[in-house]
Amino acid sequence: GDSVTQMEGPVTLSEEAFLTINCTYTATGYPSLFWYVQYPGEGLQLLLKATKADDKGSNKGFEATYRKETTSFHLEKGSVQVSDSAVYFCALSDQGFGNEKLTFGTGTRLTIIP
């Protein structure tokens, strides 16, 4: 079945550091890929997405490129801020099922220190 493997956390960085959170996936079809963010006490918010190979999703300075050859969708940001502290989830949706269920990784907790 479908699965998502994320870089283990927690990750602690200083403000303005470069961020990479690794994500790889296994899927039978041609999934869409997502990064969701969960701030303390809140639900999930979609950060960015990519629906086909070589697509790059971007939002709020975060980027991720859909790499079919390496089955990866790594999240990057050039200069992190304290406000980026949250839990980040990589997810996929295999549209072939028709019900569009999301399969999530276990999440990576990111803490940014001033």
Partner 1 sequence: ETGVTQSPTHLIKTRGQQVTLRCSSQSGHNTVSWYQQALGQGPQFIFQYYREEENGRGNFPPRFSGLQFPNYSSELNVNALELDDSALYLCASSLKRGEGPNTEAFFGQGTRLTVV
Binding residues (CB under 8 A) for partner 1: these are 4, 6, 32, 36, 41-46, 49, 89, 91, 95, 97-107
Least separation in angstroms between CB 36 and partner 1: 8
Least separation in angstroms between CB 61 and partner 1: 20
Q: Of 47 and 80, which CB lies nearer to partner 1 in the complex structure?
A: 47
Q: Of 18 and 30, which CB lies nearer to partner 1 in the complex structure?
A: 30
Least separation in angstroms between CB 38 and partner 1: 9
DSSP track, the chain: --EEEE--S-EEEETT--EEE-EEEE-SS--EEEEEEE-TT--EEEEEEE-STT-EEEETTEEEE-BTTTTB--EEESS--GGG-EEEEEEEE-GGGSS--EEE---EEEEEE-
Q: Of 99 and 114, which CB lies nearer to partner 1 in the complex structure?
A: 99
